[in-house]
Amino acid sequence: MTAPALVRPPLFARLDARGVRRGLAAGAAWGLVVGAGLITIEARRCGVICFDDAALTLLASITLGFVSIGPLAALGRPTRPIQS
């Protein structure tokens, strides 16, 4: 069981330019959706949109999307082709 684990390349060796772009796009999309949802909830609760709070919420959501979802999208592809 340990021999295949020793032969497998580390995660950062599998990262290429397409993976980085995929991770940034997925993180930004996730952050925009979550940020828009949080801004909508706050606007419905208050009755008005505070632009400084909305900008901070959106910035935080996109940043957290890059950090949390980005690596999953960038490195979450199979290492070998799927055989059917």
Q: Would you tell me the crossing angle of helices 17-46 and 51-75 to the nearest 10 degrees?
A: 150
State how far the Cα of 16 lies from the Cα of 22, in Å rounded to an integer: 10
Inside any domain, residue 81 = no
Q: What pLDDT is stored for residue 37 in this prediction? A: 95
65: amino acid identity, one letter: G
Count of structural domains, the chain? 1
In a domain, 82, yes or no: no
Whether this model's pTM surpasses 0.75 = no
Per-residue pLDDT of 1-45, as tens digits, reads: 566 666 666 666 667 788 888 889 999 999 999 999 999 999 999
In one letter, which amino acid is 61?
S
Does residue 14 form part of some domain? no
Q: Is residue 22 part of a domain?
A: no
Q: Report angle CA 7, 9, 15 to the nearest 5 degrees.
A: 165
Question: Which band of pLDDT confidence, cut at 50, 70 and 90, is reported for residue 76?
Answer: confident
pLDDT in tens, 42-70: 999 988 888 999 999 999 999 999 999 98
Q: Is residue 24 part of a domain?
A: no
Whether 56 is covered by a domain: the verdict is: yes
Domain span at residue 45 reads 34-76
